[in-house]
Chain A
Amino acid sequence: MLKLIRALFPLHILFLGCGGLEYSPNQVFSGDSPRNINRNSINRLNEEQGDARIRFILTGDSQRAYKDSKDLIEAINKLPEIDFVILNGDIADFGLYQEMESVNQIFSKLSRPYIGVIGNHDLVANGERVYKHMFGELNFSFVYQGVKFICHNTNSRESSFEGNVPDLAWLKQQFSPETGVDAYIAIAHVPPDDADFDESLATEYVNTINNSSNTLAALFAHTHNHRVFYPGFQKKTPYIITDPIEKRKFVLIEILDGKLKYENISY
């Protein structure tokens, strides 16, 4: 019997499947890698502009929480009238291709499109190139039903606080008045009061977000604790941080008649 098992062992190739050739854990892509996930999601949203109410999910930090991510997708798919999902950074834990691929395998089971934003763990090792290949640019924006969603890189520590992250010039331009845009929402991984955010840029960053013609909210993740705060002078723009996926909570955000509401939901 043992001899038979040993002789059959070469069949392990067949059992595990031939899709498993890996050149390096740090490879940027493999033959069947998904590409332009964010652009494809945005195109899908543009094709199907829905009702006047925008409802979307803010979640983040999927890093290594595959089991909880699966449950999250099930929970979101049960909610009615969700427009899209924001996965707000730390998609991967080690910046590896296989991690982003595994997370995408799970998130592509969503019935709605999702947007992946860059987190500090996604920038580790070759992660920046993996993210760019699979998801797209680090700073990008899209307009959905008159609201401009501005997704950007705030992982200052990963560029050694050199003063270029976040890119304030780009951000100012994004928040400037534009036809067809009634409101703005900022989306990034590291919140401006965190130690991983470049302190020298924090005040100007908050002002850029708050001083637009109409910013509804700024959305973050990273701290692993749900929190809402109102930085700046006027204290009117909510900065909302989501819990990580492993805490099995997310934020449901709704915009109707120019007003934003949010709710923390457990699953």
Chain B
Amino acid sequence: MKIFLIKNLLYSLLCVLLFTTNEAHAQVPEFLIPKDIVIQHAGSIGFMSLGIGYPVFKNKRGSLDFNYGYVPEGRGGTLRILSGKFAYRPWKIKISDGIKLYPANPGVFFTYHFGEQFDFYWDKDTYEDGYYWWSTALRPHISISTEVELDALKIFKTSKIKGIRLYSEFNTNELYLVSYFKNVGAVPLRNIFKLGIGLRVSL
């Protein structure tokens, strides 16, 4: 029952986040209105995922995204995944007038898998405490991305879109990491670091 409630709560939260965008200005405080729309392929948060993003810190080098991802059956699903992602861009390289490169951006994110086979808690009637130590639904990840920013005003001559960013992102999770560190040298890095690519549009 408790698990059911949590899942529904997360689901509702997502719906609220996705649908209270521009039309609902009057009711929503300014800081809640998303500034970015993010679409990502792979990267452990869905075959495709769609999300909203908020720049954080004064310098706007940080970002906080909430994505909803989907893996269709034909791609190894069906899976529905909610993710909350944070990343920071410590370095910026100006390539040309309208193009900037953020070469290495560390981040952390959490994923939540919906579905009966994934749980926050192990059923207490079936498993003693600590029988399995990890959660199957909630997964912490660390990531590193590379991002190219295109100045929309200069390139596309429009003021409706402020910027377009393309990124590739590697991530791994705690379960892959414990497997890696138990077997240093025996597990290739590509078995634990997984790739995704995405597009971030700043409005």
Q: Which residues of A contact B (CB under 8 A)?
A: 3, 6-7, 9-10, 12-13, 16-30, 64-67, 70, 93-99, 101-102, 124-126, 128, 157, 160-161
Q: Confirm or deny: B68 has a beta carbon within 8 angstroms of a beta carbon on chain A.
A: no
12 pairs from A and B in contact (CB 8 Å cutoff) = A6-B103, A16-B193, A20-B170, A20-B194, A24-B46, A24-B81, A27-B76, A64-B182, A64-B183, A66-B186, A67-B183, A125-B113
Q: Confirm or deny: B42 has a beta carbon within 8 angstroms of a beta carbon on chain A.
A: yes
From A6, A22, A27, A96, contact of B175 by CB (8 A): A96
B168 touches A28 (CB 8 A): no
Collect the chain B residues with CB atoms within 8 Å of residue A27's CB.
Answer: 71, 75-77, 79
A16 touches B195 (CB 8 A): yes
**Chain A: minimal CB distance from B43 (Å):** 7
Q: Confirm or deny: B104 has a beta carbon within 8 angstroms of a beta carbon on chain A.
A: yes
From A12, A24, A66, A160, contact of B179 by CB (8 A): A66
**Chain B: minimal CB distance from A68 (Å):** 8
From B42, B123, B178, B183, contact of A160 by CB (8 A): B123
From A24, A30, A161, contact of B79 by CB (8 A): A24
**Chain A: minimal CB distance from B144 (Å):** 8
From B113, B123, B170, B186, contact of A16 by CB (8 A): B170
Q: Confirm or deny: B203 has a beta carbon within 8 angstroms of a beta carbon on chain A.
A: no
**Chain B: minimal CB distance from A135 (Å):** 16
Which residues of B from 156 to 193 have beta carbons under 8 Å from A? 168, 170, 173, 175-176, 178-179, 182-183, 185-187, 189-193
B71 touches A23 (CB 8 A): yes
**Chain A: minimal CB distance from B118 (Å):** 6
How long is the Cα–Cα vector from A161 to B195 in the complex, in angstroms? 39
- The number of chain B residues touching the other chain, given as a range, is 35 or more
Collect the chain A residues with CB atoms within 8 Å of residue B93's CB.
Answer: 3, 6-7
From A7, A64, A102, contact of B191 by CB (8 A): A102
From A18, A26, A28, A67, contact of B195 by CB (8 A): A18
A23 touches B42 (CB 8 A): yes
Collect the chain B residues with CB atoms within 8 Å of residue A97's CB.
Answer: 76
**Chain B: minimal CB distance from A11 (Å):** 9
Collect the chain B residues with CB atoms within 8 Å of residue A28's CB.
Answer: 76-77
B77 touches A23 (CB 8 A): yes
Collect the chain B residues with CB atoms within 8 Å of residue A67's CB.
Answer: 182-183, 185-186
Collect the chain A residues with CB atoms within 8 Å of residue B176's CB.
Answer: 25, 98
A12 touches B170 (CB 8 A): yes
Collect the chain B residues with CB atoms within 8 Å of residue A12's CB.
Answer: 146, 170
Q: Confirm or deny: B47 has a beta carbon within 8 angstroms of a beta carbon on chain A.
A: yes
Contact mask for chain B residues 104-143; partner A; CB cutoff 8 A; 1 contact, 0 none:
1000000101000110000101110000101010010000
Collect the chain A residues with CB atoms within 8 Å of residue B42's CB.
Answer: 21-23
Q: Which among B126, B179, B192 has the highest number of chain A CB atoms within 10 Å?
A: B179
How long is the Cα–Cα vector from A97 to B189 in the complex, in angstroms? 16
How long is the Cα–Cα vector from A6 to B178 in the complex, in angstroms? 29
B175 touches A10 (CB 8 A): no
- Tell me the nearest residue of chain B to A71, going by C-beta: B186
Q: Which among B42, B93, B193, B195 has the highest number of chain A CB atoms within 10 Å?
A: B195
Q: Confirm or deny: B101 has a beta carbon within 8 angstroms of a beta carbon on chain A.
A: yes
B190 touches A17 (CB 8 A): yes
B195 touches A29 (CB 8 A): no
Given the contacts A17-B190, A18-B195, A25-B173, A9 and B103 also touching, CB distance less than 8 Å: yes
Collect the chain A residues with CB atoms within 8 Å of residue B146's CB.
Answer: 9-10, 12
How long is the Cα–Cα vector from A6 to B190 in the complex, in angstroms? 21
How long is the Cα–Cα vector from A16 to B47 in the complex, in angstroms? 20
How long is the Cα–Cα vector from A96 to B118 in the complex, in angstroms? 12
Q: Across the A-B interface, give the 7 residue pairs with the lowest CB-CB distance, nearest first.
A: A27-B76, A22-B194, A67-B186, A125-B136, A21-B42, A9-B103, A6-B103
Q: Which among A9, A13, A65, A96 has the highest number of chain B CB atoms within 10 Å?
A: A9
Collect the chain A residues with CB atoms within 8 Å of residue B71's CB.
Answer: 23-24, 27
Q: Confirm or deny: B45 has a beta carbon within 8 angstroms of a beta carbon on chain A.
A: yes
